[in-house]
Amino acid sequence: MKAALLGHGTIGVGVDRIVKEIPGIEIVRVLALETDEEIIGRHTFSADDILGDPEIDTVIEVMGGIHPAWEFISRAMEAGKHVVTANKAVVAAYYRELLALQKKHGVAFRCTAAVGGGIPWLVNLSREKQGDRITKIGGIMNGTTNYILSRMDLEGIAFSDALLDAQKLGYAEKDPSADIDGDDVRRKLSISASVAYDCFVDEQMIPTAGIRSVLPEDLRAAREKGCVLKLAAFSERLEAGISACVAPFFVPRERLLASVPANVNLISLTAEHAGELCFSGQGAGRYPTAKNVVLDLLDIVSGVRCFYTEAAAPAAVDNGSTPTAWYFRTVSEDFPEDLVSERSGSSAVTKPLSVLEAFRLLDELRKKDPAVFMAGILS
């Protein structure tokens, strides 16, 4: 395999170094904004030097972002090159188009590192559904927010301090919005649900709430109920479509999900015959993520050409069922009292509401209180 790297940042450097130890795979060109001693002689500032080179059979995209990553990936596949990416943003945004290109041009398209970092989640999800029917998926899919909430819970520190430490450790970007607002998890859930249920789940249809406005008192409220606060994603197959959401949740301490520490991820699937299966590990980081990129390359070398699913028909998102209680903290005086089951100062616990009803209430409260915080309460 003669491969090229698009991007030589954290993940790209990791891939480059691991590949050097593997016979049969050679990274011959590297697209990067600047050069360094590791890529002297292979470096280029122009993607055309890679996409127009017939000797390069595989392109590894680790630039991040949607543009120009999408344009480079699509051009590579149209040129008959295999593609491996760790970019969940571009996969979620162009999921159907990428599957269509893969089929049309008969090339491989793999993105195992896009969901779960170093966890082999998508390959096992794909394998499991071959002989079973997956009914639910979910869990902790973002190590940055789990690290922040864990520090706040265990040490009582403020959100801003925990976020700053996460940035110093390399868990959070300089602009942490995608993590703390839940966008990163939403994209991962969109990809995972699409693979699990053999359909296409539009990420824009998944209601999402993050932890930007979380306060220590919210974690105390969770502890008082025997719970731990976690940002989690959940999806379930329904008769008329699927349910899916991303939000903070009060998770009972006896649940495995409550014990997930620091920046670790834990993603689970529930299948009709196998029951619940859990996959845990480093959800980010240079070498865990790069390792999954390299495993995708090795799959291609061994002859794998298929994606994790062949179906991508749009699926309706139905969040009108499966009610649960929800915790709200808000200074708004417009909280509907007929929905309250418990009240304490500026916080309230609702009577059972569906995800659809809870997010509608959140949207209404945000009009007067942008710092409102909401969390589901799991039983």
Model confidence over 9-64: pLDDT tens digits? 999 999 999 999 999 999 999 999 999 999 999 999 999 999 999 999 999 999 99
User: 137 to each of 196, 278, 317, how far by Cα in Å?
Assistant: 8, 10, 14
What pTM was computed for the model? 0.97
Same-domain pairing of 166 and 29: no
Which sequence positions are flagged as catalytic? 188
Instruction: Kindly state whether residues 277 and 139 are assigned to the same domain.
Output: yes
> How much is the pLDDT for 240?
85
Q: Which of 225, 250, 283 is the last residue of a domain?
A: 283
Report if residue 165 sits inside a domain.
yes
- Whether residue 215 lies inside any domain: the answer is yes
Which of residues 283, 315, 346 is at a domain's end?
283
Looking at the structure of the chain, the number of domains it has is: 2
Closest among 153, 204, 145, 154 to 178, alpha carbons compared: 145
Are 68 and 147 found together in one domain? no
Q: Same structural domain for residues 260 and 140?
A: yes
Same domain, 135 and 173: yes
What CATH number has the domain bearing residue 73? 3.40.50.720
pLDDT digits (tens, 9 = 90+) for 255-300: 999 999 999 999 999 999 999 999 999 988 899 999 999 999 999 9
Do 131 and 189 belong together in one domain?
yes
Give a yes or no: residue 242 inside a domain: yes
Angle value at C-alpha 295, between 126 and 245, nearest 5 degrees: 40
Q: Is residue 77 part of a domain?
A: yes
Which domain range does residue 10 map to?
Answer: 2-110
Q: Which residue has the tokens 């616990």?
A: 349
Burial 112-134 (b: 16+ CB within 10 A, else e): bbbbbbbbbbbbbbbebbeebeb
How many Å apart are CA 102 and CA 206, to the nearest integer?
26
The domain boundary, picked from 241, 256, 283, lies at: 283
Q: Give the closest residue to 373 by CA, choosing from 264, 218, 164.
A: 218
Judge if 83 and 166 occupy the same domain.
Answer: no
61 and 188 both lie in a single domain: no
Residue 331 lies in a domain: no
| Burial class of residue 172 (count of CB atoms within 10 Å of its CB; 0-12, 13-18, 19+) | buried
One digit per residue, the tens of pLDDT, for the chain of length 379 reads 999 999 999 999 999 999 999 999 999 999 999 999 999 999 999 999 999 999 999 999 999 999 999 999 999 999 999 999 999 999 999 999 999 999 999 999 999 999 999 999 999 999 999 999 999 999 999 999 999 999 999 999 999 999 999 999 888 889 999 999 999 999 999 999 999 999 999 999 999 999 999 999 999 999 999 999 999 999 999 988 999 999 999 999 999 999 999 999 999 999 999 999 999 999 888 999 999 999 999 999 999 999 999 999 999 999 999 899 999 999 999 999 999 999 999 999 999 999 999 999 999 999 999 999 999 999 9
**Same domain? 75 vs 135:** no
Whether residue 368 is contained in a domain is answered as no
Are residues 193 and 275 both part of a single domain?
A: yes
